[in-house]
């Protein structure tokens, strides 16, 4: 479909917590990991099909929007920093400033969007202010846009400040908000805990730039879907003596990295060193382990390497990723049992920055949103038909993985240079295990 959607903004509103935040919680100190994060919002769009029995779509939209706003008020009472404002790069003023809420009408039907999902269309379903990253990140930690289609379908676009949340925290919030919206819900909602600064204290040192800010450049973004049966076959192909049980994420990540490196080498005409930065949820890797209810940024990064003389072989690449994941876990276990964790983290980020800036290394970054159970986000009208992260800036060599609706497959959004993408998408091994931007069934 055409890139420009016909969007009608019906209302803008600031949603405040249903109960005031206690004075003792009015100032939240950021952790060192929070400080590293860029002034951006984590973007997500969730799509819901309409009820075929409803003909009064306008009336239904008003009812649904009211439910979303009322439940958001309640959810913000638990996730109170999301209604605050960034004071500087050290704290959040939890003053109940509120979250920005936009209600919009989209004058097309949902299936038009999902026939061939594209980033330029998805961007229009996010709150428009996300494009003004720095101003927005200071004033509004959470932005929501509820977009109602002519067919009765719904898209909920969410932007959550990366300064106070990682993807796992975003998923926890979405599921809590959805559970609050289900009027008949009897499940116990676990209150989040914001204590990152006590685990990763701030340091009076210059904050190194994260590599993600160093890999901006002209790129082409495309979506590839690896269905469950294809991943089963891929995992079987990736089995080796050192990794007899490769995971879904390891296998798909290794194949994507292999094909991307092959494209880069072909375009350059010479072998080249490559580094894969894979984002890791460290909550379960700390000693003692932390529950999923810990909000904020709890992410680390492994750095799997391939030398210029190494063969690009799937089993070997999976082995490298597994080896680095194992060493990563051992490393975090050690530094949380007596080492200077803040200095160690600063050194790691600085090293990643140097690799990303090197002209002699191809630097790739992969983030996995798999196993976050985002498809459980039922607000009372069923689970999402589809959901997707949204890239709002051009960053080459960046990959984001997310579960398919059935939980067995993986969708990969992949950003590469135009030259590398042309070779990447024609790679026979990639074509064997994935489909390029297939339609989403409604």
Which positions are annotated as active-site residues? 162, 378
- Residue in the block written with tokens 């479909």: 1
Cβ atoms of residues 133 and 32 within 8 Å: no
Considering only CA atoms, which of 319, 391, 398, 411 is closest in space to residue 362?
Answer: 398
Sign of the dihedral through C-alpha 208, 211, 216, 217:
positive
Residues 6+ apart with CB under 8 A from 22: none
How far is residue 185 from each of residues 68, 73, 107, 272, 427, measured CA to CA in Å?
15, 17, 32, 54, 47
Q: Where are the beta strands (DSSP E) in 228-359?
A: 273-281, 299-306
- Tokens (6 digits) for 75: 């959810």
Considering only CA atoms, which of 354, 397, 275, 349 is closest in space to residue 36?
Answer: 349
- Residue in the block written with tokens 């951006």: 40
Of the CA atoms within 13 Å of residue 305, those in its CB half-sphere come to 9
- For the chain, helix (H) and strand (E) counts, in that order, are 13, 16
If DSSP codes are grouped into helix, strand and coil, which group holds residue 77?
Answer: helix
Cβ atoms of residues 50 and 442 within 8 Å: no
Other CB atoms within a 10 A radius of the CB of residue 141 amount to 29
How far is residue 155 from each of residues 46, 114, 148, 328, measured CA to CA in Å?
6, 11, 7, 38
Q: Where are the beta strands (DSSP E) in 326-436?
A: 361-368, 386-389, 398-403, 410-416, 435-436
């Amino acid at each position: 479909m055409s890139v420009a959607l016909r969007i009608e903004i019906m209302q803008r509103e600031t949603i405040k917590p249903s109960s005031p935040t206690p004075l003792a919680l009015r100032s939240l100190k950021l952790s060192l990991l929070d400080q590293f994060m860029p002034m951006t919002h984590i973007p997500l769009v969730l799509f819901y099909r309409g009820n075929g029995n409803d003909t009064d779509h306008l009336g239904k939209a008003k009812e649904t929007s009211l439910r979303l706003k009322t439940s958001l008020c309640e959810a913000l009472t638990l996730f109170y920093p999301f209604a605050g404002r960034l004071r500087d790069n050290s704290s959040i003023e939890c003053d109940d400033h509120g979250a920005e809420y936009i209600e919009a009408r989209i004058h097309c039907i949902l299936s038009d969007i999902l026939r061939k999902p594209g980033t330029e269309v998805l961007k229009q379903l996010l709150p428009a202010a996300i494009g003004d990253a720095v101003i927005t990140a200071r004033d509004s930690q959470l932005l929501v846009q509820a977009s109602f289609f002519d067919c009765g379908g719904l898209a909920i676009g969410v932007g959550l400040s990366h300064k106070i949340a990682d993807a796992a925290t975003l998923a926890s919030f979405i599921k809590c908000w959805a559970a609050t919206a289900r009027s008949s819900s009897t499940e116990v909602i676990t209150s989040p805990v914001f204590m990152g600064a006590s685990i990763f204290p701030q340091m009076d040192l210059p904050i190194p730039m994260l590599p993600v800010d160093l890999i901006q450049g002209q790129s082409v973004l495309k979506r590839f879907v690896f269905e469950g049966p294809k991943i089963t076959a891929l995992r079987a192909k990736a089995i080796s003596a050192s990794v007899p049980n490769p995971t879904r994420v390891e296998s798909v990540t290794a194949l994507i990295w292999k094909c991307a490196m092959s494209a880069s080498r072909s375009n350059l005409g010479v072998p080249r060193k490559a580094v894969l930065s894979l984002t890791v949820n460290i909550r379960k890797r700390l000693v003692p382990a932390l529950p999923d209810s810990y909000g904020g940024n709890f992410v680390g990064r492994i750095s799997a390497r391939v030398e210029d003389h190494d063969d690009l072989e799937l089993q070997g690449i999976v082995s490298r990723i597994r080896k680095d994941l194992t060493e990563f876990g051992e490393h975090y276990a050690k530094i949380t049992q007596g080492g200077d964790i803040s200095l160690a983290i600063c050194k790691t980020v600085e090293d990643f920055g140097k690799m990303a800036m090197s002209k002699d290394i191809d630097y790739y970054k992969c983030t996995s949103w798999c196993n976050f159970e985002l498809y459980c986000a039922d607000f009372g009208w069923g689970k999402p038909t589809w959901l997707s992260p949204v890239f709002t800036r051009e960053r080459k060599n960046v990959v984001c993985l997310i579960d398919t609706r059935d939980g067995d497959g993986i969708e990969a959004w992949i950003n590469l240079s135009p030259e590398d993408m042309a070779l990447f998408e024609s790679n026979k091994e990639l074509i064997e295990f994935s489909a390029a931007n297939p339609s989403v069934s409604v």
